[in-house]
Chains A and B, each alone.
Chain A
């Protein structure tokens, strides 16, 4: 099973709302990733977790807060977002952080900030 699931599929939120995106994988992967993707652009890396510890934070604003409660779950907490944060948010996982392993992506959450 090479499936990464993400919920919700679509999310519309106001600038004062607090919401969370959820990602789950059951492949035993120890590295998990959050990406942000604008239309017709490549994904931009936001955060990387390795063995449930934050390994990489690509200078993402603090209104995005990641959390890895266990090896299968990855959350992205959203608070006080701006309209320019509207994008497709992709979660991915790979076998490990060290090594040239393929990343498996979820279907994404399309976020609209109003």
Chain B
């Protein structure tokens, strides 16, 4: 069963504007983690931000913030003041503890293009 859903295959944003990338998840486990990664065309997966299921406040890291709505099971990434270097593939991921250990599931990704 699919556990992470990213419904936006591609997004465009004007430079210096904010953009929201959507992510919804499905789990019955009370303890889980939500992550966002950026993957430029070079291929490296760059960790951006983390939100734990028990965290009361939304995570923020510089221009990145995670809009965590637990009841809706959504964990959207907000990028403020977009820059040309933000153009990349963005993956939402969830970790949860299975009987074999920590399992990591990735969404299908959103391709973000920043327009000058």
Contact = CB atoms under 8 A, between A and B. Distances in A.
Interface string A22-63: 000000000101000000111101001010000110000000
Q: Is the interface of B mostly helix, strand, loop or mixed?
A: strand
Given A42-B107, A42-B108, A107 B44 contact: yes
Nearest to B32: A100
A112 to B, nearest CB: 14
Interface stretch (B12-20, B74-82, B96-104): B96-104
Interface string B33-75: 1010100001111110010110000000000000000000000
A106 B44 contact: yes
A50 to B, nearest CB: 6
A110 B43 contact: yes
Contact of B52 (A55, A100, A107): A100
B95 interface: yes
Interface in A11-27: none
Contacts of B108: 41-42
Given A40-B109, A42-B106, A108-B43, A98 B101 contact: yes
A43 B103 CA distance: 13
A30 to B, nearest CB: 11
Among B43, B50, B97, the most chain A Cβ lie within 10 Å of the Cβ of: B43
B91 interface: yes
Given A40-B109, A100-B95, A108 B102 contact: no
B43 A100 contact: no
B31 interface: yes
A100 B111 CA distance: 26
Residue with the greatest number of chain A CB neighbours at <10 A, chosen from B46, B53, B106: B106
Contacts of A98: 97, 101-102
Interface string B82-116: 00000001010001110011111011110100000
A90 interface: yes
Interface of A: 2, 31, 33, 40-43, 45, 48, 50, 55-56, 88, 90, 92, 94, 96-108, 110
Question: What 8 pairs between A and B have smallest CB-CB spacing?
Answer: A100-B33, A42-B106, A105-B45, A97-B101, A108-B43, A107-B44, A100-B95, A97-B102
